[in-house]
Structure 1
Amino acid sequence: MRALTVVPGRADSGAVVEMPEPPETDGPVLVRTLAVGFCGTDAEILAGDYGWAPAGEERLILGHESLGEVLEAPDGSGFRRGDLVAGVVRRPDPVPCLACGAGEWDMCRNGRYTERGIKQRHGFAAERFRIEPEFLVPVDRGLGPLGVLMEPASILAKAWEHIERIGLRARWAPRSVLVTGAGPIGLLAALMGVQRGLEVHVLARREGAQAALARDLGAAYHIGRIADLPFHPDVVLECTGVPELVMDAAVQLAPAGICCLAGVSAGAKRIETNAGTLERQMVLGNTVLFGIVNANLRHYRAAAEALAKADRAWLGRLVTRRERLDDWRDAVTRRPDDIKTVIDFTL
């Protein structure tokens, strides 16, 4: 079968190659891939920044944002031929740690987890893949190809769950949320804020399709600095990974506010910041700054519910390009108007 692969740690090694059929040890459910979303994680793996192939293999099949159709499923698995599905990315470590032992593999404590398309397990960017039914999530048939948004939506479902859990530390009735960044993560964060009945604001760098999408949700759209905003948000979802925005967002929080870091910084840039000002603001304001990554099975299910409730036409505008597998280089080359690009295995 054909698959998009890379030699981890080697830049410019991405290639569509013939790979063996997925082994039954990957799971009893056989899935035909319909689409795979592309994100910054894939770009960094292709650039050789990180990534790990399965033991004993040179190449890693990419792809962790999946949408597929079940071809074969055993009786009692909860799935049947023709079901639309998305695969969960992470697997618990074999030790396991305290979190993985409790089924909270997204909060792994010892780093021995594996991840499909990222760390020591082949991903979903192949014509077919096998998977365990307990790591498979049904996709609403009405979503159709938009089910490829399941994995990024699961990250935001986790973010909102943790925000709401932290809010329970005291009497808390949030009204406003600020989302920094208007990419797919930021817009999905805004969607879930609107679904919760909050006053949603999105801050980004420029006008364009993202601005229209935010406003069509009913969110306010801002361009400029966080410090210039005329309000202090109860919740911030920082979805850019830009260090300056992280600091500014934490300082801008309302008293008892919560800031979730959902973007990943490149880590190389140094910035000048007044740590004392930040510390004073957080202590005197009882504010919280925390990060999230990955998602658990319940977060995928919550994401499925959020996507099923969303306006289909609005969701469809998030996917700005669909490319064939052979044109994967076009898919991974970002264009100015891109929001989410997808490799469509049906083309």
Structure 2
Amino acid sequence: MRALTVRPGTPKSLALTDLDDPPPTDGRVLVESLQVGLCGTDEEIVAGEYGEAPPGEDLLVLGHENLGRIIEAPKDSNLKPGDLVVGIVRRPDPVPCPACAVGEWDMCRNGRYTEHGIKALHGFARERWRAEPDAMVRLDPDLADVGALLEPTTIVAKAWEQIDRIGRRAFWQPETAAITGAGPVGLLAALLSVQRGLNTHVFDIVKTGLKPELVEQLGAAYHSETLPDSGVEADIIVECSGVPSVIVDAMTCSAHNSVVCLTGVSSGGTRIPLDIGEISRTSVLENDVIFGSVNANRRHYQAATVALAAADKRWLSRLITRRMPLADFLDAFDKRPDDVKVVLELAAK
């Protein structure tokens, strides 16, 4: 079968490779890959910045944002051939740690988790893959065109769950939310914010084009100026850009008793002036919370399916700005200014 592979740690090793079919030991459910979404994590792995092949192997199959269709499944799995499914990216560590033992592998304490297409597990950018029934979630057929958006939606579903839990520490009646960054994760974070009935503001440097249109279609406000310049004081800020200066803005420009969630992963190496004493003083005196959130567990996948099912499918479809066949993977990784989400199509839905 065809698979999109890299040699981890080796830049420019991206290639379409012929691999054996996945062995039955990978799982009792056999899945045909339909879609794989591309994101910044894939770009960094392709650049050789990180990534880990499965034990004893030299190559890593890419792809963690995925959609597939079941070919075969055991009768006791509640799955059947033809069902649309999304594979869960992170799997619990083998010990397992206390968090992994209760199904919260997104909060793994010892770092021995594995991740499809990222860390010690082959990804979904291959024609077929196998897993156990508990390692996937079923998707409504109405979401067939946009199924690859489920995984990034899980990231913000978890972020919003954590925000809600933190908010309940005391009186909690948020009205305004700010989302920094209007990439796929930021736009999906805005979607969940609007679904919560919040007055939602989205910030990005792009002044015209698809991103402002998508935000306005949601009923949210789009800003091309910075958060401090906007005058918006948000009860909730979800930072999705990973840009250091924007992170500082998010940490310092919020309302009293605010919750700031950092989801954007920075590359590091950028030095900017920072008065940590003032940030600490303000956070203490205003009862602010600043926390980081990454990955998702099964609960968040299920919450994400609910969020996407409730969304306007035409709006979701516009997030996917390019759909490319697997053979055109090099063009798919060639970023264009108007890209939001690029999806590789591996088979017909």
The one-letter code sitting in structure 2 at the alignment partner of 1:304 is T
- Distance in 2 of aligned mates of 1:119 and 1:139: 25
1:166 partner letter = I
Give the distance between the partners of 2:281 and 2:227, measured in 1 at CA. Answer: 18
> 1:241, 1:202 → 2: CA distance?
15
Cα distance in 2 between the residues matched to 1:99 and 1:133: 20
The match for 2:308 is 307
What's the counterpart of residue 102 of structure 1?
A: 102
Aligned partner letter, 2:313:
R
Once the two structures are superposed, residues 306-326 of structure 1 have per-residue CA deviations (whole angstroms, 9 ceiling, x without a partner) of 001100100000000011111
Instruction: Provide the C-alpha distance between the structure 1 equivalents of 2:272 and 2:7, rounded to a whole number of angstroms.
Output: 33
- Secondary structure of 2:307 counterpart: helix
Counterpart-to-counterpart distance in 2, 1:147 and 1:225: 32
- SS at the partner of 1:327? helix
Residue in structure 2 matched with residue 34 of structure 1 by the alignment: 34
Distance in 1, Cα, partners of 2:237 & 2:132? 35
- Structure 1 residue 148, shift from structure 2 partner: 0.9
SS at match of 2:76: coil
Equivalent in the alignment of 1:78: 78
Alignment of 1:213-252 (within 5 A): 213-252=214-253
State the TM-score, normalized to the length of structure 2. Answer: 0.98
Where do 1:16-55 residues align within 5 Å?
Answer: 16-55=16-55
Structure 1: how far apart are the matches of 2:37 and 2:232? 35
Quick check: 1:339 aligned with 2:340?
Answer: yes
Match in the other structure for 2:118:
118
Distance in 1 (alpha carbons) for counterparts of 2:19 and 2:347 = 19
Q: Distance in 1 between matches of 2:94 and 2:118?
A: 17
Alpha-carbon separation, structure 2, partners of 1:236 and 1:266: 21
Q: Is the 8 A contact 1:247 1:278 kept in 2?
A: no
* Aligned residue number for residue 168 of structure 2: 168
Number of aligned positions between the proteins: 347
Decide whether the 8 Å contact of 1:178 with 1:201 is kept in 2: yes
- Equivalent in the alignment of 2:329: 328
The aligned counterpart of 2:211 is: 210
String of CA shifts for 1:231-256, please: whole Å, max 9, x gaps. Answer: 31000000000111111111111111
Q: Tell me the SS of whatever aligns to 1:256.
A: strand
CA distance in structure 2 between the aligned counterparts of 1:145 and 1:128, rounded to whole angstroms: 19
CA distance in 2, matches of 1:231, 1:246: 15
TM-aligned CA deviation for residue 274 of structure 1: 1.1
Aligned amino acid, residue 198 of structure 1:
L
Task: Please report how far the alpha carbon of residue 176 of structure 1 lies from its aligned counterpart in structure 2 after TM superposition.
Answer: 0.4
| 2:280 corresponding residue in structure 1 | 279
What residue ranges of structure 1 are gaps of 5+ in the alignment? none
- Cα distance between partner residues in 2 of 1:102 and 1:183: 32
Mapped contact 1:67–1:145 kept (Cα < 8 A): no
* CA deviation string 1:60-90 (max 9, x = no partner): 0000001000000000101100001100001
Deviates more, 1:149-158 or 1:224-233: 224-233
What is the match of residue 133 of structure 1?
A: 133
Normalising by structure 1, we get a TM-score of 0.99
Q: Give the RMSD, CA atoms, in angstroms.
A: 0.8
Structure 2 equivalent of residue 148 of structure 1: 148
Partner SS state of residue 31, structure 1: strand
Deviating more after overlay: 138-147 vs 211-220: 138-147
Deviation at 1:50, TM superposition (A): 0.3
Shift of residue 280 of structure 1?
A: 1.2
Give the partner amino acid of 1:259. Answer: V
What displacement does 1:230 show? Answer: 2.2
User: Which residue does the alignment assign to 2:59?
Assistant: 59
SS where residue 160 of structure 1 aligns?
Answer: helix
Cα distance in 1 for partners of 2:115, 2:289 equals 29
Structure 1 Cα separation of the partners of residues 323 and 51 of structure 2: 24
Distance 1:98 1:130 in 2: 26
Give the SS at the match of 2:115: strand
Deviation at 1:220, TM superposition (A): 0.4
Q: Deviations over 1:17-72 (max 9, x none)?
A: 10110011111100000010000000000000000000111000000001000000
Question: Letter of the aligned partner of 2:301 in structure 1?
Answer: Y
Q: Percent identity?
A: 55
Q: 1:125-183 CA distances to partner (integer Å, 9 max, x unpaired)?
A: 00000011101101110111201101000001000000000001001100000000111
Query: Following the alignment from structure 1 to structure 2, what is the Cα–Cα distance between the partners of residues 208 and 78?
Result: 43
Cα distance in structure 2, aligned partners of 1:231 and 1:194? 16
Q: Which amino acid aligns with 1:54?
A: P
- 1:95-115, CA deviations, whole angstroms, 9 ceiling, x for partnerless residues? 111211121101001100001
